[in-house]
Structure 1
Amino acid sequence: MEPQVVMLEPIRIGGYSTQTSYLVNTIPQLWGRFMPQRKQIQLPADDNLYSVAVYPEDFFEGMQPGKLFERRAAVRMNEATVLLPDMDEWTITGGLYAVFRHVGAHTDMSTIDYIFREWLPQNGFYALDARPHFEILGAKYKQGDPASEEDIYIPVRKK
């Protein structure tokens, strides 16, 4: 499962966010709040959903399940996009990203496991960078479906 490494320009997104951890997971509530409102967002840049994680710089230094990070549920924006008044706008930092295609339910962690336990430590060319991680949930994404597909974007830098 080799990723495609791509150089991305910054991406403007808008939606809702939550503070969460792996120990106290508030992500389902975030998406529960976002999904009923997303159809009211005027003129998004595309039909994809963006699930963005913003981790503290020391987040990956030893597993700490209770350590907080920010998760965002969003759509991509362009100049014409109009968000709801209670939504926020952010920019996903551009740069190098390793893109992995995940096939399976969103609860299947095999791709994430591969990325962090095998690919990152063994690839020889790239190291994890301190920028947002994100998934693009496109037309083939079906929550809970074992045939679901999404693209996982991991920020990297050359070693």
Structure 2
Amino acid sequence: MTPKTVTIGPKKLIGFSVEMSLLENKTQTIWQLFMPRLKEIKNAVSADLFSLQIYPENYFTHFTPDTIFTKWAAVEVKNFENCPEGFEKLEISGGTYAVFLHKGNTEMFAKTAQYIYSDWLPKSGFKLDNQPHFEVLGDNYLGHENPESEEEIWIPIK
């Protein structure tokens, strides 16, 4: 699994966030809140959905399954004008990312993540940058249980 390296500019996202840990995974909860209201967003850049994580600076060096991070369910927007009531705004500054194409269900995702952080990253010559990590759920995303589902995994690097 070889990633492509992409440098992106700033992005504006709106959606919902929640603090969680891997032990208290609230991913399904945040998406159940977001998806019914998606149609309220009128200025989306595309139909792509963002599953985004903001980790504390020492998250990966002092990792435990109960370490808290912030999880987002969001969509990229052109601007923050006409943001529907109750939605949160997030601006990410951009940067360089290693982009992996993941195919498979949630169980396979865990194996892909294990490969990225335990195998690819230490051998890559890159270090993690302190930027949001995210997955882009595009046209080929078929749901978290579908073994044919595809998503892009964006890992910030320097």
What TM-score results when the alignment is normalised by the length of structure 2?
Answer: 0.94
Q: Give the secondary-structure state (helix, strand or coil) at the position aligned to 1:39.
A: helix
Match of 1:112 in 2: 113
The answer to whether the 8 A contact 2:12-2:80 is kept is no
The answer to whether the 8 A contact 1:44-1:81 is kept is no
Could you say if the C-alpha distance between residues 36 and 14 of structure 1 is closer, same or farther in structure 2, counting changes exceeding 3 Å?
same
What TM-score results when the alignment is normalised by the length of structure 1?
Answer: 0.93
Q: Distance in 2 between matches of 1:37 and 1:107?
A: 28
Q: Give the secondary-structure state (helix, strand or coil) at the position aligned to 1:48.
A: strand
Match of 2:61 in 1: 61
Q: Displacement, 1:29?
A: 0.5
Could you say if the C-alpha distance between residues 82 and 44 of structure 1 is closer, same or farther in structure 2, counting changes exceeding 3 Å?
farther
Q: Which structure: greater helix fraction?
A: 2
- Deviation string, structure 1 residues 62-121 (Cα, Å, up to 9, x no partner): 331111000000011003763321001111221110000000013421211110010001
Give the AA of the match of 2:23: L
Count of residue pairs the alignment pairs up: 156
> Structure 2 unaligned runs (5+)?
none
Structure 2 residue 48 is the aligned partner of structure 1 residue 48: yes
Q: Give the secondary-structure state (helix, strand or coil) at the position aligned to 1:28.
A: helix
Q: Give the secondary-structure state (helix, strand or coil) at the position aligned to 2:127.
A: strand
Match of 1:12 in 2: 12
Match of 2:157 in 1: 156
- Deviation string, structure 1 residues 38-74 (Cα, Å, up to 9, x no partner): 1121121110000110000010113311110000000
Give the AA of the match of 1:30: I
Q: Displacement, 1:21?
A: 0.1
Match of 1:132 in 2: 132
Could you say if the C-alpha distance between residues 98 and 25 of structure 1 is closer, same or farther in structure 2, counting changes exceeding 3 Å?
same
